[in-house]
Amino acid sequence: MTKKYSYILAITGASGAIYGLSLLKALIEHSYFVHLIVSEPGFTVMKDELDMFKGVYNNEDKAKNSNNGNPSISNFNVKQEILNAIKLNLSPDSNIGTDAAFNSYTDMFELLDEKFLESKIASGSAKDVKGMAVVPCSMGSLARIACGISGNLIERAADVVLKEKKRLVVCPRETPFNDIHLKNMLSLYSSGAIILPLIPGFYNKPKTVRDIVDFMTGRILDSLSIENDVYERWRGYKGKYNEK
């Protein structure tokens, strides 16, 4: 895998962390370097929904690491835990478990602490960054991004992507929406963001959870203008539809 351009991926505290990991895998396999930011609630969701970080990561470790001046939390083997979750949930038949493949994936993304506002992606001068996706996006994160609040690296990076007129894809995972949610989405849309709720289609007749996740991953890649064949596209009917 080679690094050409990069994307920012944020995983926040809404349900559906598996969607974020699927996009991480897809971006790496399309040879993009990924700046990954996981919010504190995002880590909690990953732990609860994907049974991750047992004995590897906890709030005490993160606080200790945040105080030592190191912006990365990869030294707590969190990157390896993320790749293990990808293999278990999204690539059970892949060779990601081999040392060479594992190392190649590890080299294609960095894990940034949400408090690390000094990161290069907090500035519009990071010209190799092509865009950003927030997958999944909680209503709290959506509201703060819509209001231009830069309280953490996720919010600041999203603000930078918007001001630089780059592609920002926001993937809300909530139901039902109230009028505050909808107004915040409209505000972001008016500012240039793409609002892509995590609402899968079923015309591709999914048979597994992975099929459903792949559908949304492909749609996110489409919105980032990345050519892909991750999901089966609607091909339309050929001529008159005949009932069976």
pLDDT tens digits, residue range 40-57?
999 999 999 999 887 655
Alpha helices in 51-116 (DSSP H): 59-66, 78-89, 99-106
Where does the pLDDT of residue 73 fall: very low under 50, low under 70, confident under 90, or very high at 90 and above? very low
Average pLDDT on 210-229 reads 96
pLDDT attached to residue 183: 98
Rounded to an integer, what distance in angstroms lies between the CA atom of residue 68 and that of residue 74?
14
Instruction: Give the per-residue SS3 of 135-159.
Output: EEECHHHHHHHHCCCCCCHHHHHHH
The number of residues in the chain equals 244
Interhelix angle 17-29/78-89, nearest 10 degrees: 90
Q: Residue 87: pLDDT above 70?
A: yes
Rounded to an integer, what distance in angstroms lies between the CA atom of residue 43 and that of residue 78?
10
Average pLDDT on 7-36 reads 97
Q: How far is CA 162 from CA 124, 165, 185, in A?
A: 10, 5, 14
Could you tell me what percent of the chain has a pLDDT over 70? 84
CA proximity to 231, closest of 215, 212, 216: 215
Per the model's pLDDT, the better-predicted residue between 154 and 62 turns out to be: 154
Alpha helices in 30-134 (DSSP H): 40-50, 59-66, 78-89, 99-106
**What is the edge-to-edge ordering of all strands in the sheet holding 167-172?**
109-112, 33-38, 6-11, 129-137, 167-172, 194-195
pLDDT attached to residue 146: 98
Q: Residue 222: pLDDT above 80?
A: yes
Average pLDDT on 81-93 reads 85
Q: Residue 7: pLDDT above 60?
A: yes
Where does the pLDDT of residue 72 fall: very low under 50, low under 70, confident under 90, or very high at 90 and above? very low
Q: What residues are paired with 131 via a beta bridge?
A: 7, 167
Q: Residue 77: pLDDT above 90?
A: no
Q: Which of 68-82, 86-100, 102-116, 202-216 has the highest mean pLDDT?
A: 202-216
pLDDT attached to residue 243: 56
Q: How far is CA 62 from CA 44, 75, 97, in A?
A: 12, 11, 26
Q: Residue 242: pLDDT above 70?
A: no
Mean pLDDT of the chain: 88
Domains of the chain: 6-223 (3.40.50.1950)
pLDDT tens readout for residues 156-194: 999 999 999 999 999 999 999 999 999 999 999 999 999
pLDDT attached to residue 196: 98
pLDDT attached to residue 237: 80
